[in-house]
Amino acid sequence: MKLLLPVWLACLVTISGCESSSGKNEKKEVVVEEAVTEVVHARKGKLSTSLQVPGELIPYQEVAIYAKENSFVKKVLVDVGSEVKQGQLLVSLDAPEISSRMAEAQSRLQSQEAVYTATKANFDRLTETSKTPGTISPNDLDQAAAQKNSQLAQLAAAKSVYNQVVDLKNYLEIKAPFDGIISSRNVNTGAYVGPSGKGSDLPLLVLQQQKQLRLVVSVPEAFSGLLNKKDTVKFTIRSLPNEKFTATINRMSGTLDSRLRSERVEMDVFNKSKKLLPGMYAEVNIPMPANDSSFVVPKSAVVSGTEKIFVIRVIDKKAGWVDVKKGRESEGKMEIYGALNNGDTLILKASDEIRNGSEIRKMKVTSGR
């Protein structure tokens, strides 16, 4: 009995070892699921977007006022911030030489009027006398008529010179050309002033119309064809972050700036409250509704490579690259233009790793949202 116990234990160890070795040699089968490719159908639609561009507020009208003639400032009737009306006297000037020229022109005019009056009276008498046959020769009458006409022409010339001096004298009173606010003043009483570059380097005054402003923006070339007059835009001002303003597109330049490749667009802004100031910068939101329908797909379906832009279309479970051109983008959607048909199956998450002609076995149609 004692001899059988070790033999039994040895057999037990051997059986246990055989079972362990057998467990290690068993092979487990691994099932690899085939990947499912998400696809979308190409559909036509209209993609409305908006353009965010910086803008600047400028006066609707602005003029730098200079003196017409060299003169001295007699009186300045306005100051910076003064609100003026059209025709209101702003600055009074004094030019003694103009007063002398006016007196001379007036004296010459009066003298010429007297000469013409005498010449005309002589012609009238000769004309009346010539009614009696043989009293006045036709030659004398013709000479009197010619003298009268000559003096009339000289009278007209004297009046022209006089009116010219009167106009110059009127320039000594500078009046507002339109309603506005004085934004700059560069002279004081007694200053010697004159035309730009001939007495005054700076204007006497700068007048701005601020109750109505222009909002000026530069629209990039790619978006210039999408704008229409009378479109309403919204804009904000950095210094007034809690307020939103609206304006209407009134003027479009119709040409592109050669440097910026953009079109100048102006909108009228009414500013009766005077919250807005010329020179303020604005953030402008311009709505751009689509005019024509185009293919609209998720942005992830478009591959923007270094050499080409394409989408991947699936036909008979084969992938094919289709060259396209990109349009506008909005909220994860993109306009594309290319040789596509309505309802074509496109890979949702396209990349250049999916080679042209590769096989797509399993697909799942999704909305692409």
Note whether 312 and 243 are same-domain residues: no
Domain limit, last residue, from 149, 175, 201? 175
- Domain limits at 149? 63-175
Looking at residue 232, which CATH number applies to its domain? Answer: 2.40.30.170
State residue 22's pLDDT score. 45
Note whether 281 and 320 are same-domain residues: no
CA 175 from centre of chain:
31
Number of domains within the chain: 3
State residue 351's pLDDT score. 86
> Does 181 map to a domain?
no
Domain limit, last residue, from 263, 288, 313? 288
Note whether 43 and 128 are same-domain residues: no
> Does 104 map to a domain?
yes
**Nearest 5°: phi and psi at 363?**
-130, 150
Note whether 78 and 122 are same-domain residues: yes
Note whether 283 and 306 are same-domain residues: no
State residue 368's pLDDT score. 60
State residue 292's pLDDT score. 61
State residue 284's pLDDT score. 92
State residue 317's pLDDT score. 86
Note whether 148 and 80 are same-domain residues: yes
> Does 17 map to a domain?
no
Note whether 156 and 253 are same-domain residues: no
The series of mean pLDDT values per 10 residues for the chain, 369 residues long, is: 41 43 48 71 77 91 91 94 95 88 89 91 86 82 89 92 87 93 93 76 92 92 78 88 89 86 91 90 83 79 86 89 83 83 88 86 76
State residue 282's pLDDT score. 93
State residue 197's pLDDT score. 63
> Does 310 map to a domain?
yes
Note whether 262 and 297 are same-domain residues: no
Report pTM.
0.62
Note whether 275 and 307 are same-domain residues: no
> Does 75 map to a domain?
yes
Report the alpha-carbon distance of residue 35 to residue 51 in Å, rounded: 40
Note whether 164 and 222 are same-domain residues: no
Note whether 70 and 118 are same-domain residues: yes
> Does 132 map to a domain?
yes
Note whether 124 and 161 are same-domain residues: yes
Domain limit, last residue, from 248, 273, 288? 288
State residue 359's pLDDT score. 86
